[in-house]
């Protein structure tokens, strides 16, 4: 069994009391947010061959307005999951979910990248795969009714951070260096092929 790990850094803005990620990002009262993720795929072959392409996520999320630094528990990443876009059309998604913990504060995070070709326009790939729409819900068990319980916004990866991300890909587990590098190449090929199947079709159907 050969696995793969890589890191991803995204920055952007969220707004308190926002229900919609795009609205929260565009609001003038938004606050800076940064997320530093590690995605861990313990078995690359099983990840690719499975019905649900699921991996583990560990992250540090920095949101000064909500108390500073949060760490994640129960983090999951799912690649190429069918869903609905903002306008109700079928899309593919990259899903990120986790519990965020900061001392006595706890939030649930639900985030997604929406892969929506809209007529095979391949140039949408960069924006769709680098912009993460984030929704946070404060689930801290206390009686404070005045504190904002929801926040939402968008964080994204820059071109420079994307280049850095590619250099962090490392295989691990069984086999020598060639087997581990093969695991990296297998994942990259799977990802690129998946994007091709989505964005080179004029009408999106369920990813197979």
Asked whether 40 and 82 are in contact (CB, 8 A), the reply is no
HSE-CB of 109 using CA atoms within 13 angstroms: 33
What are the strands, taking DSSP E only, across the chain? Answer: 2-16, 31-41, 53-63, 68-84, 90-102, 105-115, 131-138, 150-156, 170-173
Cβ count near 133 (within 10 Å): 23
Asked whether 71 and 60 are in contact (CB, 8 A), the reply is yes
3-state secondary structure of 23: helix
Angstrom CA distances, 8 to 38, 162, 164, stand at 6, 8, 8
DSSP letter, residue 18: -
Nearby residues of 3 by Cβ (< 8 Å), 6 or more positions away: 40, 41, 42, 43, 44, 171, 172, 173, 183
Give me the pLDDT at residue 96, please.
Answer: 98
Asked whether 146 and 17 are in contact (CB, 8 A), the reply is no
**Spatial separation of the C-alpha atoms in residues 69 and 152, rounded to whole Å:** 17
Rounded to a whole number, what is the largest CA-CA distance in the chain?
Answer: 56
**Spatial separation of the C-alpha atoms in residues 36 and 10, rounded to whole Å:** 7
Q: What is the pLDDT along the chain (208 residues), one digit of tens a residue?
A: 899 999 999 999 999 999 899 999 999 889 999 999 999 999 999 999 988 999 999 999 999 888 789 999 999 999 999 998 877 888 999 999 999 999 888 999 999 999 987 665 677 899 999 999 999 999 988 766 777 789 999 999 999 999 999 999 999 998 888 999 999 999 999 999 999 888 887 544 443 4
Cα 122 vs. chain centroid, distance in angstroms? Answer: 20
Give me the pLDDT at residue 168, please.
Answer: 97
**Spatial separation of the C-alpha atoms in residues 46 and 16, rounded to whole Å:** 39
Q: Are strands 31-41 and 68-84 parallel, antiparallel or unpaired?
A: unpaired
């Amino acid at each position: 069994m050969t696995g793969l790990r890589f890191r991803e850094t995204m920055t952007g803005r969220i707004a308190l009391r926002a229900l919609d990620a795009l609205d929260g990002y565009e609001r003038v009262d938004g606050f800076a947010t940064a997320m530093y993720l590690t995605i861990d795929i313990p078995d690359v072959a099983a990840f690719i061959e499975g019905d649900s392409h699921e991996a583990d996520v560990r992250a540090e999320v920095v949101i000064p307005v909500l108390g500073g630094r949060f760490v994640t528990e129960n983090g999951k990443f799912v690649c190429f999951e069918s869903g609905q876009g903002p306008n109700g059309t079928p899309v593919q998604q990259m899903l990120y979910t986790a519990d965020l913990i900061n001392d006595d504060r706890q939030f649930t995070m639900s985030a997604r990248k929406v892969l929506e070709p809209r007529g095979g326009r391949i140039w949408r790939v960069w924006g769709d795969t680098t912009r993460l729409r984030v929704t946070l819900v404060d689930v801290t068990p206390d009686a404070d009714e005045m504190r904002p319980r929801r926040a939402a916004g968008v964080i994204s990866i820059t071109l420079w951070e994307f280049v850095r991300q590619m250099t962090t890909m490392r295989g691990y587990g069984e086999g020598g260096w060639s087997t581990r590098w093969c695991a990296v190449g297998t994942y990259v090929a799977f990802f690129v092929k998946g994007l091709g199947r989505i964005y080179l079709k004029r009408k999106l159907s369920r990813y197979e």
